[in-house]
Amino acid sequence: MITGIGELVYAKDGTLKLQPPSNSAPFYLTNMQITSLVKKLNDSKKNYRLLCIIFGTIGIILGGLIVRKYWRYRIELEEEAKRKLQIEESRRERRRRIRDEDLPENQQCVVCKTNPIEIILLPCGHVCLCEDCSVDITENCPVCRQAIEKKAVAYVL
């Protein structure tokens, strides 16, 4: 006995022909009985549903772990930025307190005119910036306009 599920049409020679449905519905031709075929399809449906639930759950868990890791990373970056800002502010405040009010003109920063010179610009060799101003000036020397390749701390006595 053969069970066929599909579209039954008349062929040009007048015979009946079983073919795949024109509406893209499933086409079955098997030696199983119809009840066995329905049971097998229901079992397959249950298995696929279970696999979808399992893999969906795994995907949600992995997505949650990735989001949590990213969130912690962002918080860590923000805390690091806050720490760096606090350290920089404390360094600036310490330099302001230590700063000598009676600095000669040739030992003052050429940009802010208040802090002592602390940075040497290379390759031109000018010692003309304080540490605060050296953060903002990155391209050209303020004295000779030569391109700055490197900065170094200069200890001026």
The DSSP symbol for 22 reads T
3-state helix/strand/coil string of 39-94: HHHHHHHHHHHHHHHHHHHHHHHHHHHHHHHHHHHHHHHHHHHHHHHHHHHHHHHH
Output the tens digit of pLDDT for each of the chain's 157 residues.
888 888 888 888 889 888 888 888 888 888 989 899 899 999 999 999 999 999 999 999 999 999 999 999 999 999 999 999 998 887 777 667 666 567 788 888 899 888 888 889 999 999 999 888 888 888 999 999 999 999 988 877 6
What is the rounded distance in angstroms from the CA atom of residue 81 to the CA atom of residue 87?
10
Model pTM score: 0.48
User: How many CB atoms are located within 10 Å of the residue 98 CB?
Assistant: 8
